[in-house]
Amino acid sequence: MSLYLDYNATAPLCREAKQAMLEAMEWVGNGSSVHQFGRQVRQKIEQARQEVADFFKTSSSSVIFTSGATEANHLALCGFEGRIIVSAVEHDSVDQARPDRLVCPVDARGILDLTALEALLKKGNAPVLVSVMAANNETGVIQPLEQVVNLAKQYGAFVHCDAVQAIGRLPFSWEGIDLISLSAHKLGGPQGVGALVMQTDIPVKPQLRGGGQERSFRSGTENFLGIVGFAAALKVVKDQDWVAIEQVRDTLETRLKALCPDALFLVQEAHRLPNTAVLVMKGVKSATQVMNFDLAGIAVSAGAACASGKVKSSKVLKAMGVPGELADCSLRVSLGPTSQMDVIDRFLEVWMDIYERAHVSSQ
């Protein structure tokens, strides 16, 4: 039996998105063409835009479709002319967008240090954009967005939020956040499409210029199929039973601890996504664990898997002050709506096998 426990990397395409995309494949036309074919495609794109806007209870003109969250993050940060403050645990697509960014530290749980944020806000001139993710992709830790927004507003700063890992996994308030980045493939939609939701009139300069699509914020023919699939996935994501998923995650942690007292759990005390666990198998490198789980048919992940597929050591855990010898032996398990209690037995069996083999061979 193979098990997919890597939803934070990407979620399988949901039935509804697949169906909507199959139907859309029958349509011909460029959404910018004035003839009836183009107009029909345009109508579908605008319907999808409205559905994304409805999710955020905002106007459809706020939604700028992009090729994913990496591009949405770049549009937000590179398009903003002013100072940028990012948290120390942001995804690389935020962290590397602006080399001149200021970095705000986090505490041992990975939660933004609000006192440090205030000190950074006080320093220097406006305009300022604060970029803080809703939930971390490696740990699932949730940031205090409401407090970030209140503090930023006190200093006249704008707020951007990379909401990629949060959508549909917990109810969030998006009030007061100027810019929100989304990615379809984390929520059951297709890969290669996302959006920047511009909830206010924040000045952002386009990064892709040309045909003037997406209200000139993002030129280029829209990814029609992707957009249709994205909206369809977003519609059903609200109905997922994440309480049940949390029970699976918690049971997995409890049973693992009982079975292997040597196992450690990071960020267990923090407010975190219901689907994410970070486990440490002492003395066994993350890459070895991932490989062995893979050989046993279980897909899990470690640190941030970069584009080359190599496991890099985690910047996020480092920013939290997790000692290198633990961070380098950590493993991320991220569950999804299809993960039932029956995944636990198999996961624990493979964990114990890897653990025992490693510890017998090192004796």
Q: Cβ closer to ligand PMP: 69 or 180?
A: 69
- Side-chain-side CA neighbours of 145 within 13 Å: the count stands at 24
Instruction: Report which residue's Cβ sits closest to ligand PMP.
Output: 68
70 binds ligand PMP (CB under 6 A): yes
Length of the chain: 363
Pick from 42, 74, 91, 169: which binds ligand PMP (CB under 6 A)?
A: 91
137 binds ligand PMP (CB under 6 A): yes
**Smallest distance, ligand PMP to C-beta of residue 67, A:** 7
**Binding segment toward ligand PMP, per CB under 6 A, in 68-76, 172-180, 224-232, 285-293:** 68-76
**Smallest distance, ligand PMP to C-beta of residue 93, A:** 5
Q: What residues between 195 and 234 interact with ligand PMP by CB under 6 A?
A: none
93 binds ligand PMP (CB under 6 A): yes
**Binding segment toward ligand PMP, per CB under 6 A, in 152-160, 161-169, 214-222, 251-259:** 161-169
Q: Cβ closer to ligand PMP: 69 or 84?
A: 69
Q: Cβ closer to ligand PMP: 62 or 183?
A: 183
Per-residue binder mask for ligand PMP (CB under 6 A), 275-304, x = binder: ------------------------------
**Binding segment toward ligand PMP, per CB under 6 A, in 66-74, 78-86, 112-120, 337-345:** 66-74
* Other CB atoms within 10 A of residue 201 CB: 8
Residue (of 54, 61, 94) closest to 201 by Cα position: 61
Q: Cβ closer to ligand PMP: 223 or 292?
A: 223
**Smallest distance, ligand PMP to C-beta of residue 314, A:** 13
Of the residues 14, 104, 161, 306, only one is catalytic, namely 306
**Smallest distance, ligand PMP to C-beta of residue 343, A:** 22
Q: Cβ closer to ligand PMP: 63 or 256?
A: 63
314 binds ligand PMP (CB under 6 A): no
161 is catalytic: no
Q: Cβ closer to ligand PMP: 68 or 229?
A: 68
Q: If DSSP states are collapsed to H, E and C, what string results for the chain?
A: CCEECECCCCCCCCHHHHHHHHHHCCCCCCCCCCCHHHHHHHHHHHHHHHHHHHHCCCCHHHEEEECCHHHHHHHHHHCCCCEEEEECCCCHHHHCCCCCCEEECECCCCCECHHHHHHHHHCCCCCEEEECCCECCCCCEECCHHHHHHHHHHCCCEEEEECCCCCCCCCCCCCCCCEEEEEHHHCCCCCCCEEEEECCCCCCCCCECCCCCHHHCECCCCCHHHHHHHHHHHHHHCCCCHHHHHHHHHHHHHHHHHHCCCCEEECCCCCECCCEEEEECCCCCHHHHHHHHHHCCEECECCCECCCCCECCCHHHHHCCCCHHHHCCEEEEECCCCCCCHHHHHHHHHHHHHHHHHHHHCC
133 binds ligand PMP (CB under 6 A): yes
- Tokens 């969250």 appear where? 69
Pick from 11, 159, 164, 290: which binds ligand PMP (CB under 6 A)?
A: 164
Residues forming contacts to ligand PMP in the complex (CB under 6 A) are: 68-70, 91, 93, 133, 137, 162, 164-165, 183, 194
Annotated catalytic residues are 306
